[in-house]
């Protein structure tokens, strides 16, 4: 073995923060989003949200932070107009390419200042975006502003406190997770969805959750497989600890004993009629 630590990571890294939107490699972000979208738990919540929103042919439907545009295409099949708001130029271009002649539209924009008039949107969804936003409660109020009275909204997000990672040295894992949570804008987003919707004056109409369980390949390619690289970069673990962590995951996966799971939450709400 060489003197250099073997950091053992085969996957892709990327940032979904607004501040990084222009600088990101869209191919890499699309790859990560495709991996996420392939998880049954993610599809379960996407389907649930679409059922809650129930867009109709007269409706304008909006997906905030639309990524590769899969959900805007799904909305376009049911709604009169479907618009994805996405600040990353590369992801927007990829979404336009994938959407083809579906009728889905994509616009530049920030969730904190949506490019829509007051009360002009009938249904709105936002998935795994609020965790990247500095002031998510203000963003949800912005969503409430654009919803028309009687309009419907569905939010989906992860709560990173629900992450279970096995195996790992508890002390090393604690430092890695603490570092990860400190780097995230809003890591406990999942538990806050309900309160933020209620705080924006909306009436909760449904809530559910789904847990995704990482495959054994995830030990080498998924979120967990890059945590040690970030923690090492942040100086909270040593190269030897990073290598031991990665090697422990790989060995466990080789024996079919690796575990990582994470719970995502979805909440729907309705905007009451104007008084």
Q: Does 33 bind ligand SAM (CB under 6 A)?
A: yes
The closest of 188, 172, 154, 267 to 224, measured between CA atoms, is 172
Count residues binding ligand SAM (CB under 6 A). 22
The pairing of beta strand 121-127 with beta strand 105-107: unpaired
Q: Does 21 bind ligand SAM (CB under 6 A)?
A: yes
Q: Does 196 bind ligand SAM (CB under 6 A)?
A: no
> Please, which residue, 55 or 67, has the CB nearer to ligand SAM?
67
Bond preceding residue 86 cis, omega within 30 of 0: no
> Please, which residue, 119 or 135, has the CB nearer to ligand SAM?
135
With H, G, I as helix, E, B as strand and everything else as coil, classify residue 153. strand
Q: How far is the CB of 202 from ligand SAM (least distance, A)?
A: 19
- Using the rule CB under 6 A, which residue among 81, 132, 192, 220 binds ligand SAM? 132
Q: Is the dihedral of CA 267, 83, 94, 19 positive or negative?
A: negative
The closest of 223, 238, 253 to 162, measured between CA atoms, is 223
Q: How far is the CB of 203 from ligand SAM (least distance, A)?
A: 24
Residues 52-71 touching ligand SAM, rule: CB under 6 A, are: 64-67
Q: Does 88 bind ligand SAM (CB under 6 A)?
A: yes
> Please, which residue, 77 or 174, has the CB nearer to ligand SAM?
77
Q: Does 111 bind ligand SAM (CB under 6 A)?
A: yes
- Using the rule CB under 6 A, which residue among 11, 55, 87, 187 binds ligand SAM? 87
Long-range contacts of 51-59 (CB under 8 A, 24+ apart): 52/152, 52/154, 52/205, 52/206, 52/268, 53/123, 53/124, 53/125, 53/152, 53/153, 53/154, 53/268, 54/78, 54/123, 54/152, 55/79, 55/82, 55/122, 55/123, 56/80, 56/122, 58/122, 59/122, 59/123
Q: How far is the CB of 265 from ligand SAM (least distance, A)?
A: 14
| Residue 31 tokens, joined | 């790859």
Stretch that binds ligand SAM, among 6-14, 80-88, 195-203, 212-220 (CB under 6 A): 80-88
Stretch that binds ligand SAM, among 107-115, 210-218, 238-246, 251-259 (CB under 6 A): 107-115
Q: Does 190 bind ligand SAM (CB under 6 A)?
A: no
Pairwise CA distance, residues 103 & 82, whole Å = 7
Non-local (6+) Cβ contacts of 19 within 8 A are none
With H, G, I as helix, E, B as strand and everything else as coil, classify residue 102. coil
> Please, which residue, 51 or 254, has the CB nearer to ligand SAM?
51
Q: Does 110 bind ligand SAM (CB under 6 A)?
A: yes
> Please, which residue, 19 or 213, has the CB nearer to ligand SAM?
19
Non-local (6+) Cβ contacts of 254 within 8 A are none
With H, G, I as helix, E, B as strand and everything else as coil, classify residue 207. strand
Q: Does 266 bind ligand SAM (CB under 6 A)?
A: no
Q: Does 105 bind ligand SAM (CB under 6 A)?
A: no
State the first-to-last Cα distance of the chain, in angstroms, to the nearest integer. Answer: 72
Q: Which residues contact ligand SAM (rule: CB under 6 A)?
A: 16, 18, 21, 33, 37, 64-67, 85-88, 91, 110-112, 127-129, 132-133
């Amino acid at each position: 073995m060489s003197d250099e630590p073997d950091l053992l990571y085969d996957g892709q890294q990327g940032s979904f923060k607004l501040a990084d939107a222009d600088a990101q490699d869209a191919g890499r972000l699309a790859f990560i989003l495709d991996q996420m979208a392939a998880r049954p738990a993610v599809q379960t919540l996407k389907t649930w949200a679409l059922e809650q929103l129930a867009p109709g042919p007269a409706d304008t439907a909006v997906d905030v932070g639309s990524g590769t545009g899969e959900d805007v295409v799904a909305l376009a099949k049911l709604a009169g107009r479907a618009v994805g708001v996405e600040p990353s130029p590369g992801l927007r271009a990829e979404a336009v390419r994938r959407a083809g002649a579906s009728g889905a539209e994509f616009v530049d924009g920030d969730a904190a200042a949506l490019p829509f008039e007051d009360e002009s949107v009938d249904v709105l969804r936002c998935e795994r975006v609020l965790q990247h936003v500095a002031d998510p409660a203000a963003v949800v109020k912005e969503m409430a502003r654009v919803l028309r009275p009687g309009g419907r909204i569905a939010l989906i997000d992860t709560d990173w406190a629900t992450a279970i990672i096995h195996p790992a040295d508890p002390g090393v894992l604690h430092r890695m997770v603490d570092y990860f949570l400190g780097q995230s804008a809003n890591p406990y987003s999942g538990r806050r969805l309900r309160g933020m919707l209620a705080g924006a004056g909306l009436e909760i109409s449904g809530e559910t959750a789904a847990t995704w369980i990482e495959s054994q390949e995830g030990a080498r390619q998924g979120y967990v497989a890059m945590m040690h690289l970030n923690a090492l970069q942040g100086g909270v673990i040593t190269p030897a600890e990073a290598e031991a962590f990665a090697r422990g995951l790989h060995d466990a996966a080789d024996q079919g004993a690796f575990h990582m799971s994470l719970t995502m939450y979805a909440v729907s709400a309705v905007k009451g009629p104007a008084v």
